[in-house]
Structure 1
Amino acid sequence: MEAINNFLLLLDSYLGSAAYFPYILLGVGLFFTLYLGFPQIRFFGHAWKVVTGKFDKKGAQGDTSHFQALSTALSGTVGTGNIGGVALAIFLGGPAALFWMWITAFLGMTTKFVEVTLSHKYRVQTEDGTMAGGPMYFMDRRLNMKWLAVIFAIATIISSFGTGNMPQVNNIAQSMQASFGIEPMLTGGILAIMLAMVIIGGIKRIAAVTSKIVPIMGVLYIIGSLSVIFFNLDQIGPSFAAIFSDAFTGSAATGGFLGATFAYAFNRGVNRGLFSNEAGQGSAPIAHAAARADEPVSEGMVSILEPFIDTIVICTLTGLVILSSGVWSEKHTNEFSRTDLEIVAGHYDDTTQADRQALYHYLNGTSENTIEKYTGTIEVANGKPVSNGFTILHARSVAENVRFIVAGEDPYTGVLRIDNGALRKQDIQIFGDSLIHSAALTAKAFGRGFLGDAGEYIVPISLLLFAFSTAIAWSYYGDRAVVYLVGQRGVMPYRILYVAGFFVASFADTTLVWTLSYVAIVLMTLPNLFGLVLLRREMKDTVKAYWQDFEAEKNGSQSDK
């Protein structure tokens, strides 16, 4: 698993974690924001009117209403990214990462408007009578770049597992085990059966289910978040101050958090922002292509609301819960993940300024780093390391009260071999105090509100609703990509594999699953952004024509009266 994770991290270093990627993503969003005259602001009010059905026309072609399309797309975006993803961004980049998630969402509102409009415009009716759309169709039908469309469709299938399937159930299962003691395999098995029952019914059943789940889960999560925010109201001001003051300098060290450079906070914030709202990834246009609408721009308007609801509202609530509660910079007792574990040469104490600075350079990979990974042995007596000359790091923090356990209960005694910072003995569990991240961090934060420890149960319940609905939506994205590539005959085999992957991921390593998602996201995003830029003039003309027709129809209606 460690070797696979390292390979995926290598790929990610050339893709989502590469220095160029955030600039491409934000650059396209900024370009269209200026080119189209800030549509996320000018069309925001109109979008709400469209989604409520005010401008619906009888006989419009499609499978779902505007609201159902929005709900399906939101169910695909509102998931672990809003709960575990925000926590991961803050864990990696500190408060500054949340600022860059906001910027990604604001510009992403325009990007989503563009990708949904163009995808809806070039959608097709499939052999079973349902609609199919997405970036692969405008790449093929408008740009005559079938090769690019094929790349995007293949990437969509991969991403359906790496984004919408595996990270979702993994977070649900881990959260259920931590909160209720339910074995991950049992959680995965039950949910896999439920998933199969929903996705077999196709888009109409998917839309019917998600249109009911999304509003309920949104209200529950908002109420739970506010219960923590108001409890820690005196910390909201300092939290906002940290977000903005660190935005262009990187987040300073505090507590067990050892600090993050500007580049690291910027990259992680943009990367997690994309995972959260998927603006530019090209996924949501597949859901919106099914909407009953004759004007592609009207459905594009609806999609403007997605990044706003997903990131500006829900992710902000999660971020404020984590920051105001203070748990993000505190060490908590937990079982160490091997992929988050590093052992470095030398003894470092995070309570001394010099050692904190040295660890800061090491963790952020700066040119001033002087720390090397440890190779040698560790002597362990009754579960506790007793030899010197090394420091155990877990989750980007100095680990404390470390215990090595065999068979889940017996303290280990003996000598452990360490090669290049990694523990080679596989049958040992490691426990101790360190920073935590992802859903576990969010759960801990929800326990610091009016509900006390009971508040932690908000996270597993929310994850169950959020992440399960995301898996439902992404199954549809994947099967539309399969339809494009091989036709209707490939849908059922895909759905079987999708459900099987969903089950297996429930008990897979969390870090490995998240790393896979990093790679899969970018494999969709880059081809999609390329296609959008090529169609910039057509997009502007399409928007102009929409408003001309809208005004003409409006004036005609008034003259009839």
Structure 2
Amino acid sequence: MHNLQNLLLKIDHFIWGPPLLILLVGTGVYFTFRLGLLQFRYLPHALKLVFSKDKSNSGDISSFAALCTALSATIGTGNIVGVATAIKLGGPGALFWMWLAAVFGMATKYAECLLAVKYRQTDSKGEILGGPMYYLQHGVGSKTLAVLFAIFALAVACFGIGTFPQVHAILDASEISFGVPRYMTAIVLTILVAIVTLGGIQSIAKVAAKVVPTMALVYILACLSVLTLNAEHLLDAVTLVITSAFTTTAATGGFLGAGIMLAIQSGVARGVFSNESGLGSAPMAAAAAKTDSCVRQGLISMTGTFFDTIIICTMTGLALILTGAWQADLAGAQMTTYAFAQGLDSPTLGPLLISVGLIFFAFTTILGWNYYGERCVVYLFGRKGILPYKIIFVGLVASGAFLHLDMIWIIADIFNGLMAIPNLIGLIALRHIIIEETKLFFDVKREQKTQQPKNKLQIQN
């Protein structure tokens, strides 16, 4: 087992080495400047679009439901356990690199979700088919890249983000806070996942649209309480994050010390694990949105990275630093639980909030990734593969209790990296399409604005 773990670690370090990190962040940097700092200029407009209705009939679910489905897959253990893992490995500076990856990642998320809507198709039953598989095959013209993406994404759904880390988080939280035996939680969780996922995208979106905003709000309020109660040290914590990003973090307490490269690597890897920008997962949900505009959906989807990393991960990270939890000899969910117990000065309320948040976040992530896996199965094997896939997926959820945490994160990281490669190649190959569609959309918007006053004058005359 130890040899296997060492082998997996070597593969993980190779995949998540400088080339992939440069490709991931570099793609975001390219689109950020090529699209004229779109994520900064149009974020208020994008946030407004999230809560406005599109009258289009082409699509399976509303744009808001599509965003919630994508967020259900991204807001999960990455926000609670992943942030703790990043800071434990790379020190407070890892949070800075998470921010940087997220800021540029917003442009990447916009680009990939724009392409998802542009190249989506409809099957014989009238359901939407979309995601990187379709823009790689019909946009780039590479069936090989499309198949590779679908295989890697299916592996992430079954053996990475979609199952084991989430199941492990739910079982840990239930056991630590409520004393529920692991096998009992595993049984209940398996039944719930089976019930919801058998209902398809409509059922998953319905659950996600209710659970995700509610739990995100509860978790944000809990984080704000910790930050408010420790407000006098907030500036020091932010300063520590920025200085640690560019210096070696000394070993203190249970923390073993970290160099700059480790801070960058753990911050970017955990940031991507959390918000999934560039991985190609969100486009599969975005493709199902009821919209006639690929740019509009790209803008809406882009806010997912903002909500996930800039807001939720930041709050978790600052809570860990403010309370000194990052220096404690703890890991994963236990570190975040300890931070909230200290921060709220309550040995019961803090852990309870974290546990409930973790359970719901992880549950919705399982649902979101179940849908992504299903989209890949449909692409690879057609609709006949859906039921066998769902049975296997539910079986994997049931078996998730028996894998060691370190091994789970390594496996998830490897598949994440492999999945990102064909998707990023597709984004770079189709960059001119993304730029043209964006320019056209905002040119039309500007034209409409300039014509409005003339129309009003004509009416008055």
Please tell me the TM-score bracket, short chain as reference: over 0.9
The whole-number CA distance in structure 2 between the counterparts of 1:436 and 1:529 is: 35
What displacement does 1:555 show? 5.6
The whole-number CA distance in structure 2 between the counterparts of 1:85 and 1:450 is: 21
What displacement does 1:518 show? 0.6
Kindly indicate whether the alpha-carbon contact (under 8 Å) linking 1:83 and 1:315 is maintained by their aligned counterparts in 2.
yes
Kindly indicate whether the alpha-carbon contact (under 8 Å) linking 1:62 and 1:131 is maintained by their aligned counterparts in 2.
yes
Task: Name 1:22's counterpart in structure 2.
Answer: 21
Kindly indicate whether the alpha-carbon contact (under 8 Å) linking 1:185 and 1:507 is maintained by their aligned counterparts in 2.
no
Kindly provide the amino acid, as one letter, of the partner of residue 327 in structure 1.
A
Counterpart selection for 1:440 from 331, 334, 353 = 334
The whole-number CA distance in structure 1 between the counterparts of 2:430 and 2:258 is: 38
Task: Name 1:42's counterpart in structure 2.
Answer: 41
Task: Name 2:182's counterpart in structure 1.
Answer: 184
Kindly indicate whether the alpha-carbon contact (under 8 Å) linking 2:46 and 2:300 is maintained by their aligned counterparts in 1.
yes
| Distance 1:234-1:556 versus aligned 2 partners, 3 A rule | closer
Counterpart selection for 1:83 from 50, 55, 80 = 80
Kindly provide the amino acid, as one letter, of the partner of residue 440 in structure 1.
Q
The whole-number CA distance in structure 1 between the counterparts of 2:321 and 2:271 is: 17
Task: Name 1:546's counterpart in structure 2.
Answer: 441
Task: Name 2:308's counterpart in structure 1.
Answer: 310
SS of 2:180's equivalent in the other structure is coil
CA-to-aligned-CA distance 1:32-88 (integer Å, 9 cap, x gap): 11111111011112212222225x22x430011111111111111000000000000
Q: How does 1:50-449 map to 2 (within 5 A)?
A: 50-53=49-52, 56-57=54-55, 59-161=56-158, 162-330=160-328, 435-449=329-343
Kindly provide the amino acid, as one letter, of the partner of residue 32 in structure 1.
F
Task: Name 1:467's counterpart in structure 2.
Answer: 362
The whole-number CA distance in structure 2 between the counterparts of 1:250 and 1:530 is: 33
Kindly provide the amino acid, as one letter, of the partner of residue 130 in structure 1.
E
The whole-number CA distance in structure 2 between the counterparts of 1:482 and 1:81 is: 25
Task: Name 1:12's counterpart in structure 2.
Answer: 12
What displacement does 1:129 show? 1.7
What displacement does 1:557 show? 6.2
What displacement does 1:553 show? 4.7
What displacement does 1:179 show? 2.0
Kindly provide the amino acid, as one letter, of the partner of residue 26 in structure 1.
V
CA RMSD of aligned residues (A): 1.5
SS of 1:210's equivalent in the other structure is helix
The whole-number CA distance in structure 2 between the counterparts of 1:132 and 1:19 is: 34
Kindly indicate whether the alpha-carbon contact (under 8 Å) linking 1:187 and 1:506 is maintained by their aligned counterparts in 2.
no
Kindly indicate whether the alpha-carbon contact (under 8 Å) linking 1:250 and 1:264 is maintained by their aligned counterparts in 2.
no
The whole-number CA distance in structure 2 between the counterparts of 1:251 and 1:21 is: 24
Aligned residues: 454
Kindly provide the amino acid, as one letter, of the partner of residue 175 in structure 1.
A
The whole-number CA distance in structure 1 between the counterparts of 2:143 and 2:20 is: 24
CA-to-aligned-CA distance 1:75-121 (integer Å, 9 cap, x gap): 11000000000000000000000000000000000000000001110
Counterpart selection for 1:534 from 423, 429, 438 = 429
| Distance 1:557-1:64 versus aligned 2 partners, 3 A rule | farther
CA-to-aligned-CA distance 1:475-534 (integer Å, 9 cap, x gap): 000000111111000011111111111111123211111111010101110111111011
Moved more, 270-279 or 185-194: 185-194
CA-to-aligned-CA distance 1:437-489 (integer Å, 9 cap, x gap): 11111011110133510111111110111010011001000000111111000
Higher helix proportion (structure 1 or 2): 2
What displacement does 1:552 show? 4.2
The whole-number CA distance in structure 1 between the counterparts of 2:390 and 2:8 is: 25
Higher relative contact order (CA 8 A, sep 6+): 2
CA-to-aligned-CA distance 1:313-357 (integer Å, 9 cap, x gap): 000110111110012112xxxxxxxxxxxxxxxxxxxxxxxxxxx
SS of 1:466's equivalent in the other structure is helix
SS of 1:468's equivalent in the other structure is helix
Moved more, 61-70 or 177-186: 177-186
Kindly provide the amino acid, as one letter, of the partner of residue 59 in structure 2.
G
Kindly provide the amino acid, as one letter, of the partner of residue 317 in structure 2.
G
> Gaps spanning 5+ residues in structure 2: where?
none
Task: Name 1:377's counterpart in structure 2.
Answer: none
The whole-number CA distance in structure 2 between the counterparts of 1:132 and 1:555 is: 37
Moved more, 186-195 or 88-97: 186-195
Kindly indicate whether the alpha-carbon contact (under 8 Å) linking 2:254 and 2:330 is maintained by their aligned counterparts in 1.
no
The whole-number CA distance in structure 2 between the counterparts of 1:178 and 1:512 is: 21
The whole-number CA distance in structure 2 between the counterparts of 1:464 and 1:509 is: 18
The whole-number CA distance in structure 1 between the counterparts of 2:185 and 2:10 is: 32
Kindly provide the amino acid, as one letter, of the partner of residue 327 in structure 2.
S
Kindly provide the amino acid, as one letter, of the partner of residue 138 in structure 1.
Y
The whole-number CA distance in structure 1 between the counterparts of 2:400 and 2:6 is: 18
What displacement does 1:239 show? 1.1
SS of 2:245's equivalent in the other structure is coil
SS of 2:314's equivalent in the other structure is helix
The whole-number CA distance in structure 2 between the counterparts of 1:524 and 1:128 is: 28
What displacement does 1:544 show? 1.1
Counterpart selection for 2:385 from 474, 490, 498 = 490
SS of 1:250's equivalent in the other structure is coil
Task: Name 2:416's counterpart in structure 1.
Answer: 521
Kindly indicate whether the alpha-carbon contact (under 8 Å) linking 1:171 and 1:510 is maintained by their aligned counterparts in 2.
no
SS of 1:142's equivalent in the other structure is helix
What displacement does 1:556 show? 6.0
CA-to-aligned-CA distance 1:201-241 (integer Å, 9 cap, x gap): 11111111100001110111011112222222232222111
SS of 1:60's equivalent in the other structure is coil
What displacement does 1:139 show? 0.5
The answer as to 2:386 corresponding to 1:510 is: no
The whole-number CA distance in structure 2 between the counterparts of 1:171 and 1:254 is: 27
The whole-number CA distance in structure 2 between the counterparts of 1:469 and 1:2 is: 32
Specify the structure having the higher radius of gyration (Cα): 1
> Gaps spanning 5+ residues in structure 1: where?
331-434
Kindly indicate whether the alpha-carbon contact (under 8 Å) linking 1:93 and 1:250 is maintained by their aligned counterparts in 2.
no
The whole-number CA distance in structure 2 between the counterparts of 1:215 and 1:179 is: 23
